[in-house]
Amino acid sequence: MSADIPVAVVIPVLNRASRIAAAIRAALAQSHPDCIVVVVDDGSRDGSWAEMCRFAGEDRVALIRLKRNLGTAQAKNVALLLTGGRAVSFHDSDDRPHPDKLLRQARVLGQGGLSGDAGLNWRVIGRAPGAALQIDAVFCHHELILPDGGRRIIRRELALFDDLFPNAQPEQAPGDWLHINSGLFHPRVFREIGGYADSIEEDRDLRNRLLCAGQILRVIEEPLLTKIETADSLTQSPETGYTSARRRADREAVWRDIDLWFRTRQIPPRAISVPADAVAEIIRPALLAPSAALADSATAAARDIWLARASAAQGPAQSPAELAGQAKR
């Protein structure tokens, strides 16, 4: 595998008109030589789509507008269906990656000649000691800028398994701190374990399924991502439902899957299922392609229709100025 496996940065957007342009520029500033940016407007009502369309002439940016709000998990799933054979990283509109983040992660992801150390208990994930390994996802440490101006460097490999083994915790602030958005995922991950659960706890669920499915993970022990918390961030605003009864129910569902894994050493994949009419518009569909991410048959068929319609609507190759004008109409 090439060390510089092609990558895609997926950015879901909901009512972030004041921040999305900076997020897109940060993704475009990556030093990786083959990086595209896929931005999904999840039914915004504040002009986010208009801000996104400022990048319609950028030849490395694909824009997707959903017909209605489906939630962050489903917005990411729509993009996952369309990233072809690229490795994928997910960024929020308030994430700022180090310029070399994806390049360094891609080179770890592309390492060959690895095998399971015989001194480790590989049986627990159904592997044999000494068996050849392929790295499935690469994470990194990150820093958190808080609304009160505080700054925290998050170095928390242990958080990868806090739902499985809560008895093993760092000194302070127990829980899941290793940011799923810090990861770069090989495309085979989503073929094998499926996409995001339609849940407020979609990141926690994905992290646990990575572990329980025996995916091979690595962590770069440097903060290569900055997450900027604001008053209207998911974890700060009561309007997002992050502290709601639904979140508590979704977390219970995550823990039920953990119970299942302890009993059976198996955890079911999650085939992506989104409404057939989810996508209203795609700008620059030529950047996109059907991926091998696990999806139900209706969703896979809908994906192909979205691409075909978008390609027909765009017509022959157009100049950046023509694309920008089309997006604003």
Q: Is 17 exposed, middle or buried (0-12, 13-18, 19+ CB in 10 A)?
A: middle
Query: pLDDT (tens digit, 9 = 90+) per residue, 121-158?
Result: 888 888 888 888 899 999 998 888 888 888 888 776 65
pLDDT at residue 1, as a whole number = 40
Tell whether 2 is covered by a domain. no
Tell whether 1 is covered by a domain. no
pTM for the whole thing? 0.88
pLDDT at residue 168, as a whole number = 64
Which residues of the chain fall short of a pLDDT of 70?
1-3, 156-162, 166-178, 231-243, 315-329
pLDDT at residue 158, as a whole number = 56
Tell whether 75 is covered by a domain. yes
Tell whether 294 is covered by a domain. yes
129 φ, ψ (degrees, to nearest 5): -55, 135
Residue with the two structure tokens 């990575």? 210
Indicate which CATH number applies to the domain containing 182.
Answer: 3.90.550.10
pLDDT at residue 3, as a whole number = 53
Structural domain span for residue 66: 7-328
Tell whether 87 is covered by a domain. yes
Between CA 188 and CA 180 the distance in angstroms is 17
Tell whether 219 is covered by a domain. yes
**3-state SS of the chain?**
CCCCCCEEEEEEECCCCCCHHHHHHHHHCCCCCCEEEEEEECCCCCCHHHHHHCCCCCCCEEEEEECCCCCHHHHHHHHHCCECCCEEEECCCCEEECCCHHHHHHHHHCCCCEECCCCCCHHHHCCCCCCEECCCEEEEEEEEECCCCCEEEECCHHHHHCCCCCCCCCCCCCCCCCCHHHCEECHHHHHHHECCCCCCCHHHHHHHHHHHCCCCEEEEEEEEEEEECCCCCCCCCHHHCCCCHHHHHHHHHHHHHHHHHHHHCCCCCECECCCCCCEEEEECHHHCECCCCCECHHHHHHHHHHHHHHHHHHCCCCCHHHHHHHHHC
Tell whether 36 is covered by a domain. yes
pLDDT at residue 137, as a whole number = 94
Domain count, the chain: 1
pLDDT at residue 175, as a whole number = 55
Tell whether 79 is covered by a domain. yes
Query: pLDDT (tens digit, 9 = 90+) per residue, 215-259?
Result: 988 889 899 999 998 766 555 445 555 568 888 999 999 999 999
**Could you report how far apart the first and last alpha carbons of the chain are, in Å?**
42
